[in-house]
Amino acid sequence: MKPRARIIATLGPASRDESTIRRLMQAGMNVARINFSHGNHDEHAELIKRIRKISNAINHPTAILLDLQGPKIRVGELGKGKATLVSGETLTITTKAISGDEKKISVDYDDLPNSVQPGHRILLDDGKIELTVKTIGTDTVETEIITGGILKPHKGVNIPGGDLSIQAFTEKDLEDLKFGLEQGGDLIALSFVRSANDIGHLRQTIAKVAPESADIPIIAKLERPEAIDNLREIMQAADGVMVARGDLGVEISPETVPVVQKRIIEMANQHGRVVITATQMLESMISSPRPTRAEASDVANAIFDGTDAVMLSGETAVGKYPVETVKMMASIISQSETHMQEWGHIEIKFDDDLPHDNARYITLAAKALAQDKDVTAIAVFTQSGRTARLMSKARPDVPILAFTPIQNTYQRLSLYWGVIPTLIPHAESVEKMLAHVEAGMIRATSLKPGQEVIIIAGFPIGTKGPANFTLLHTIRQR
């Protein structure tokens, strides 16, 4: 059985050649992630070109996720290339550019003294090194080293609980956004989201710099404690969310991350939003051909909780076994999905804050009809992809085939749980629509004449607007 949850794979040095990209798609990659924290525009342009070429060649629709870097606070240069920080010693952090050592280091965040208070924690290198703020100067912060270690230049700095005066959207993000939209990216992931205002700002920016891409779905990366505090409003503003467990696990206590993950997935499902579970899912496969048992359980539990997609980062970008990792991910998903009735914890109950349009009720009715009437599949005609997304969130037991005449929508549909995208000519009548359904379903499934399918579309046929009718159709002898 093919996985219904989607697999996002980050492409990088280990997976950028055509042969590997092809094998990743054949192994089950549905979305290719371009990480703007690494590489340059020339490299990314060539990579996007390869993805499109191979996707078209093997008829495997693949969405491209443009992951914006967002603001990063980093350690400055170190005189000896590294510094050994000893627990109990004092370390001064300055906002001035210096060549640091064991006693004093610099960071590239000018407002650090105004963002912390005595007693605040400062974490270096993904939390491996922990400091506590003692005193604050004009451009310095004096800290005590709580957990020491070897620090290297340009490592990340996290300030849990700090009042950071950093914008979620940087000048680098703007340049990367313009480039990515010019290259035809399908989805945007925004880092450092703290409130719905961050999503609104990005939408306004896209409308200004690339109005033809104004409808591109935005995925809010949930990395900050403020995002969890403002989860409902972010959920309403974004098209989807990503549980970015790496940064989140540094900013909040690690033991609370599993609970927060479950809460995010549940709320995303209630709001009809896509939810991606990310970071360290099969991390041991960066260097090992097999995952740990704990990693396999982690992926399975995300599936049982109702995530739409699971994401691989270093495993496929720089790991030794990128293709094997995607195969393993697909295998774990498939095995988990065969046991959803036993262990799944998904309650389909759309939140009352959702717009009360026809599409919301029609998708739930189609799921109920599919169960009661024992139909073979559900076909959705969609222009923007929204009806397909809502049908996906309803989690029917039968395949969902989404038909669209729009290339961008066709690619974006690859992110939605259980959806099989099909690109079709524009249909202007019910008869033409039914012909497309029958041809597409026979190609993509094991449908036979005489079997029944549910068709969801908007009327008049071919017009843009929410779905407003459902048709029970019997496949005819061709």
Our answer to whether residue 279 is catalytic in this structure is yes
Residue type, 221: K
Kindly report the backbone phi and psi dihedral angles of residue 221, in degrees, each rounded to the nearest multiple of 5, phi listed first. Answer: -85, 120
Residue type, 242: M
User: What is the Cα–Cα distance from 194 to 159, expressed in whole angstroms?
Assistant: 14
C-alpha to C-alpha distances, 113 to 52, 75, 128, 151, 159, nearest whole angstrom? 47, 15, 22, 21, 12
Question: Nearest to residue 36, comparing CAs of 317, 325, 410, 415?
Answer: 317
pLDDT at 418: 96
Our answer to whether residue 74 is catalytic in this structure is yes
User: What is the Cα–Cα distance from 134 to 91, expressed in whole angstroms?
Assistant: 10
Q: From first to last of its 478 residues, what are the pLDDT tens digits of the chain? A: 789 999 999 999 999 999 999 999 999 999 999 999 989 999 999 999 999 999 999 999 999 999 999 998 999 999 989 999 999 999 999 999 999 999 999 999 999 999 999 999 999 988 899 999 999 999 999 999 999 999 999 888 998 877 788 888 999 999 999 999 999 999 999 999 999 999 999 999 999 999 999 999 999 999 989 999 999 999 999 999 999 998 888 888 889 999 999 999 999 998 889 999 999 999 999 999 999 999 999 999 999 999 999 999 999 999 999 999 999 999 999 999 999 888 887 766 666 555 556 777 888 888 888 887 778 889 998 888 988 999 999 999 899 999 998 999 999 999 999 999 999 887 777 777 777 777 777 676 777 778 888 988 877 666 666 777 788 888 776 5
pLDDT at 253: 85
User: What is the Cα–Cα distance from 366 to 426, expressed in whole angstroms?
Assistant: 24
328 with 285: CB under 8 angstroms? yes
H or E stretch covering 337: helix 322-337
276 with 316: CB under 8 angstroms? no
- Say if residue 19 is exposed, middle or buried (CB neighbours under 10 Å; 0-12, 13-18, 19+): exposed
C-alpha to C-alpha distances, 101 to 97, 136, 466, nearest whole angstrom? 13, 19, 61
User: What is the Cα–Cα distance from 16 to 35, expressed in whole angstroms?
Assistant: 12
pLDDT at 169: 92
Our separate counts of H helices and E strands in the chain read 17, 21
User: What is the Cα–Cα distance from 221 to 236, expressed in whole angstroms?
Assistant: 14
pLDDT at 212: 94
User: What is the Cα–Cα distance from 47 to 50, expressed in whole angstroms?
Assistant: 5
Our answer to whether residue 478 is catalytic in this structure is no
Q: Collapse the DSSP code of 369 into the 3-class scheme (helix H, G, I; strand E, B; otherwise coil) and give the result.
A: helix
H or E stretch covering 310: strand 309-312
pLDDT at 471: 82
Q: Which residue spans within 371-441 are E strands per DSSP?
A: 377-381, 400-404, 419-423
Which position among 20, 52, 72, 74 bears the catalytic label? 74
Question: Nearest to residue 118, comparing CAs of 99, 101, 131?
Answer: 131
Which position among 4, 16, 33, 245 bears the catalytic label? 33
Neighbour count for residue 410 (Cβ, 10 Å):
21
Instruction: Return the DSSP state at 167.
Output: -
User: What is the Cα–Cα distance from 387 to 359, expressed in whole angstroms?
Assistant: 6
Q: Quick one: tokens of 398? A: 């039968």
Q: Virtual CA dihedral for 189, 194, 197, 200, nearest 10 degrees?
A: 0
Kindly report the backbone phi and psi dihedral angles of residue 217, in degrees, each rounded to the nearest multiple of 5, phi listed first. Answer: -65, 140
Which position among 94, 279, 316, 422 bears the catalytic label? 279
416 with 274: CB under 8 angstroms? yes
C-alpha to C-alpha distances, 298 to 285, 293, 327, 397, nearest whole angstrom? 14, 9, 16, 23
- CA angle (206 as vertex; 204, 210 as ends), nearest 5: 135
Our answer to whether residue 33 is catalytic in this structure is yes
Question: Nearest to residue 342, comparing CAs of 394, 313, 303, 299?
Answer: 303
User: What is the Cα–Cα distance from 356 to 369, expressed in whole angstroms?
Assistant: 20
Q: Quick one: tokens of 40? A: 């340059």
Which position among 4, 194, 221, 389 bears the catalytic label? 221
146-160 b/e with 16+ CB inside 10 Å = b? eebeebebeeebbbe
User: What is the Cα–Cα distance from 411 to 450, expressed in whole angstroms?
Assistant: 31
Q: Collapse the DSSP code of 13 into the 3-class scheme (helix H, G, I; strand E, B; otherwise coil) and give the result.
A: coil
| DSSP per residue, 256-277 | GHHHHHHHHHHHHHHTT-EEEE
pLDDT at 477: 62
pLDDT at 462: 62
Residue type, 101: D
**Phi-psi label, residue 25: left if phi above 0, alpha if psi -120 to 50, beta otherwise:** alpha
pLDDT at 54: 98
User: What is the Cα–Cα distance from 452 to 385, expressed in whole angstroms?
Assistant: 23
Task: Record the pTM.
Answer: 0.92
